[in-house]
Amino acid sequence: MKNVRSVLSHLSLQPQFKSLRRHTCYRKFIQLLPQKFQRAIAFAYSDKETLFLALSHPGYKMELNYNRDLLKSVLTMLREHDESCREIKADKIVIFNSRYAAPTQNNEPKTDPKYHELSRADFLIRTEDKALKEKFEAIKKTILGNQDNI
């Protein structure tokens, strides 16, 4: 029985899925770059020996323009060392701002800020209404519970 990897590799070798191979090469290229450039590039594609890099934020454009030589050298090293990426060739690199940036995958845990309870729950309940008194008692318990959790 064939596993998923062998089926996908067979499909990607078909001529009609040539763009999938290129897409995986672009992803490898982006992963070889330093972390700050990985965050800067939303997606990449090539056309007529020109590599187009779409930026996730306009603030990265100047820095990537200064490092075009680094981008070209990483691309040539990828072509030399990876057999599947030999067909990617870029004489020119065009960097542009993208309106539609690819969603980023944040591996950072979402923070849930914790605040210390400032109330002391030592207020007096001066009401004769039983329902209202129960509500105030519930508020006191909540305050005390918040003080214990932090």
User: Whose CA is closest to 54, among 64, 42, 65, 63?
Assistant: 42
Q: Which two tokens stand for residue 40?
A: 């800067």
Q: Which pLDDT belongs to residue 105?
A: 63
Among 7-16, 82-91, 117-126, 131-140, name the one with the lowest average pLDDT: 7-16
Q: Which pLDDT belongs to residue 102?
A: 52
Q: Which pLDDT belongs to residue 103?
A: 57
Q: Which pLDDT belongs to residue 106?
A: 64
142, pLDDT greater than 60: yes
> In this prediction, what percent of the chain has a pLDDT beyond 70?
90
pLDDT in tens, 37-47: 888 888 888 88
Name the pLDDT band for 107 (thresholds 50, 70, 90). Answer: low
Sort 143 into a burial class: Cβ within 10 Å, 0-12 / 13-18 / 19+: middle
Domains of the chain: 4-97 (3.30.300), 114-150 (no CATH)
pTM given for the model = 0.57
Greatest mean pLDDT among 6-15, 75-84, 105-114 lies in: 75-84
Q: What is the sign of the dihedral through the CA atoms of 7, 9, 10 and 16?
A: positive
89, pLDDT greater than 60: yes
Q: Which residues 6+ apart lie within 8 Å of 50 measured at CB?
A: 90, 91, 92, 93, 94
